[in-house]
Amino acid sequence: MKALMIEGVDVCAIHEVAEPTPGPGEVLLAIRHVALCGSDLSTFKGLNPLVSLPRIPGHEIGGEIAAVGEGVPADYTVGRRAIVIPYTACGTCPSCRKGRVNACRSNRTLGVQQNGGLAERIVLPYGKLILNDTLAPRHLALVEPLSVGFHAAARGRVEAADTVLVLGCGMIGMGAIAGSVHRGATVIAVDIGEAKTGLARRYGAAHVIDAGKEDVAARVMELTNGDGADVVIEAVGLPATFTQAIDLVSFAGRVVYIGYAKEPVSYKTQFFNLKELDIMGSRNATSEDFQAVIRYLETLGHAPDDLISKVFPFEEADKALPYWAKERDTTVKVMIER
């Protein structure tokens, strides 16, 4: 069968690879859609320290069951559509023992620490599939990235009385915006350019700030009567936005970091104490977050196709990452369809 392989920095190609066969408790999934993540782009650019090359990328996956192994429950029938939960959990590390399996110390995400879904077929344990025949096939691949933002909103304990500031309106930021709105909060969204701020408004942000045109700090303080936001969710991954989150959160507020800063971050740490902040990391998502996103999309009222910036056929999958590398500033989600 064919698969896309990232071979080296800025180099990817479609290769023939071995056909997988499902064993006991496993399902053969025919891949229909894979949405690309920033981690896939980082791998392509040689900036992902978690990845060894060559690697088949892709962990935002929607597909159709093609075959099942022994011991798989009867409802996992051939032809049913499914969303992939792409993480592993060891069950024994401190995170797993606390029930936070999304932060497993030994996690091996598809497309990162192990080969991913940008192939014609993949074998997975049936427990890593969420069956869904309600959402449109291409929308199945949107569930995982949105769930990461939903998880951040959950980590921030967002509730209806909160004003939530989301820094970054890429796909993960859009999940944080949607997840916070879904919880009833008032959301302020920040990014550069009308394309992304306009999208944030369409998904429920009450206020948007174009950081390329406005003074973000002044505008946030104006919108919050000088208090700052109750919750700040950072979804950019730059040192400047890491520190900005501390500056713009209210006293007794909560800060949630989803993004990874590639460089050291220098803080004035007195604000940690003076504001008595809750500062949290957010990693991956739980099955509950996936289910919350599915319910959200099923009741959204419009098709979320506006979250998809570009679709490539599988036969042209080797063009997708170079395209995204060039068009990143205006792109929310690049998807590959088979």
- Alpha carbons within 13 angstroms on the beta-carbon side of residue 267 total 14
Per residue in 255-290, is it b (16+ CB within 10 Å) or e — as a string? Answer: bbbbbebeeeeeeeeeeeeebebbbbebbbbbeebb
pLDDT per residue as tens digits for the range 176-219:
999 999 999 999 999 999 999 999 999 999 999 999 999 999 99
Number of C-beta neighbours around residue 121 at 10 A: 22
Tell whether the model's pLDDT for residue 330 goes beyond 80. no
Q: Please tell me whether residue 23 adopts helix, strand or coil conformation.
A: coil
Residues 6+ apart with CB under 8 A from 98: none
pTM, full prediction: 0.95
Q: Dmax over Cα atoms in the chain, in whole Å? A: 61
Q: When comparing pLDDT for 268 and 243, which is higher?
A: 243
- The token pair that represents 292 in the structure block: 């919350």
Asked if 108 and 292 touch (Cβ cutoff 8 Å), the reply is no
pLDDT given for residue 71 in this prediction? 96
pLDDT per residue as tens digits for the range 25-48:
999 999 999 999 988 999 999 888
User: Please, what is the Cα angle at 236 between 222 and 190, to 5 degrees?
Assistant: 25
Tell whether the model's pLDDT for residue 329 goes beyond 70. no
pLDDT per residue as tens digits for the range 166-178:
999 999 999 999 9
Q: Please tell me whether residue 19 adopts helix, strand or coil conformation.
A: coil
- CA quadruple 69, 70, 73, 77: dihedral positive or negative? positive
- Counting DSSP H helices and E strands in the chain, the numbers are 10, 15
The DSSP string of 100-145 is -GGG-TT---BTTTB--S-BSEEEEEGGGEEE-SSS-GGGGGGHHH
Average pLDDT of every residue of the chain: 95
Share above pLDDT 70 across residues of the chain, in percent, rounded to a whole number: 99
Interval 18-22 mean pLDDT: 96
Interval 119-141 mean pLDDT: 97
